[in-house]
Structure 1
Amino acid sequence: MRRHVFLTGPPGIGKTTLIHQIIDVLKSSGVPVDGFYTEEVRKNGRRIGFDVVTVSGKRGTLSRTRNDADAANSGRCEYRVGPYVVDLPSFECLALPLLTKLNGKEDKEKKVYVIDEIGKMELFSEPFIQAVRQILDGTDATVLGTIPIPKGKPLGLVEDIRSRRDVKIFNISRDNRDSIIQEIIETVQGCRKMNGN
């Protein structure tokens, strides 16, 4: 029984663009959607980091390149992924209330919860890992998320998601990214029915 849907594929393939399109379609058909996605931040044409943006439009910093992060992060414990310094407090401040609201059953309306992405930067947060596990194990939500393709050292939560029998994973490629959206939407809607939504 499939209850959750995840997209995977190489960086820059269009996973977040698909997530945006799916959110729009679900909302226009009356499906309640909540959660967050990640968005590139550019300055003078150069990528300087990523922001976390909630479906309702709130924005917070996820990461910045070393120079752009120095002023904001002075004195903080530093988490790094490649050239990026992760702003863990900012990420947790925005993402965790969304996830704990669901786990705490404060949200009576059953929704599709977007978690884009579950990757190296987000996985520095142990509370985030625990909250995602609780949501996936619960019966009150359908998760629409993204995970990276396997590369380098395995990421525990990502590998757990890959091996779950209640998760359908779509591999996004240049060949299928424009034609696969309808199948993903139908799968999400099927998962909602399985979850009693």
Structure 2
Amino acid sequence: MIKHVFLTGAPGVGKTTLVQKACEALLSSSVGVEGFYTEEVRERGRRVGFDVVTVTGERGHLSRIRDGAAASHGRREYTVGQYVVDLPSFENLALPLFRNVGAADGGSRKVFIIDEIGKMELFSQSFIRAVRQTLDSSSYTILGTIPIPKGKPLGLVEEVRSRGDVKVFAVSKENRDTILQDILAALQESLKHAA
């Protein structure tokens, strides 16, 4: 039985856009939605980093391009390519979203958005624990995104990909405009079985 739905695909193919469209459709059909997206931050047409944005619109830094003048002030610095990950900012915004996961509310099942489980987010051990707890929760269906396998496998990503209760949709330029209904159908099926 499918419990969670994840999207995978090349960077920039439209995974986050599909998650946002699915979220809008769920909210308009009165399904409870919580969680966060990852959005590009651009300045003068150039990508300078990523922000975490909650479903309710709160925003915080996830990463920024390394600024030569910025020193790490003795803190451990987490980097992915040219980006320096702002772990405290990410954890301060994302981790509180998971606080209700352990509590059984006896109400209807909710959809929890996790966009994305990627290299930057996986520097946080607390995030990894929270995702695992949500995957095992009986009150949440996750709609999330994971990167396509490339280079060294990411432990939690491979764990998600290999779970029997996870349906993974591969998003491509060819199907991104037509796959939304399939994603919503899988989510509705998951929510129906949970009810």
Question: Would you say same fold, with TM above 0.5?
Answer: yes
Is contact 2:101–2:137 with CA below 8 Å preserved after alignment? Answer: no
Q: Which residue matches 1:40?
A: 40
Mean CA deviation greater in 101-110 or 51-60? 101-110
CA distance in 1, matches of 2:193, 2:75: 44
Is contact 1:101–1:107 with CA below 8 Å preserved after alignment? Answer: no
SS in 2 for 1:70: coil
Aligned length: 195
Is contact 1:119–1:147 with CA below 8 Å preserved after alignment? Answer: yes
Is contact 2:62–2:87 with CA below 8 Å preserved after alignment? Answer: yes
* Aligned ranges 1:17-96 → 2 under 5 Å: 17-67=17-67, 70=70, 73-96=72-95
- Using the size of structure 2 for normalisation, the TM-score is 0.95
Amino acid at match of 2:180: I
CA distance in 2, matches of 1:74, 1:49: 20
Give identity over the alignment, percent: 62
SS in 1 for 2:48: strand
The 1:8/1:31 distance shift into structure 2, 3 A limit, reads same
Aligned alpha-carbon RMSD (Å): 1.7
- Using the size of structure 1 for normalisation, the TM-score is 0.94
The 1:182/1:69 distance shift into structure 2, 3 A limit, reads farther
- Return 5+ residue gaps in structure 2 as ranges: none
Residue 105 of structure 1: how far off its partner (Å): 4.2
CA distance in 2, matches of 1:54, 1:68: 30
- Return 5+ residue gaps in structure 1 as ranges: none
Please list the CA deviations of residues 45-104 of structure 1 after superposition, one character each: whole Å capped at 9, or x if unmatched.
110000000000000000000018927x54432000000000000000011011122224
SS in 1 for 2:39: strand
Structure richer in helix, relative to its length: 1
CA distance in 2, matches of 1:119, 1:144: 14
The 1:45/1:74 distance shift into structure 2, 3 A limit, reads farther
Is contact 1:81–1:120 with CA below 8 Å preserved after alignment? Answer: yes
The 1:69/1:146 distance shift into structure 2, 3 A limit, reads farther
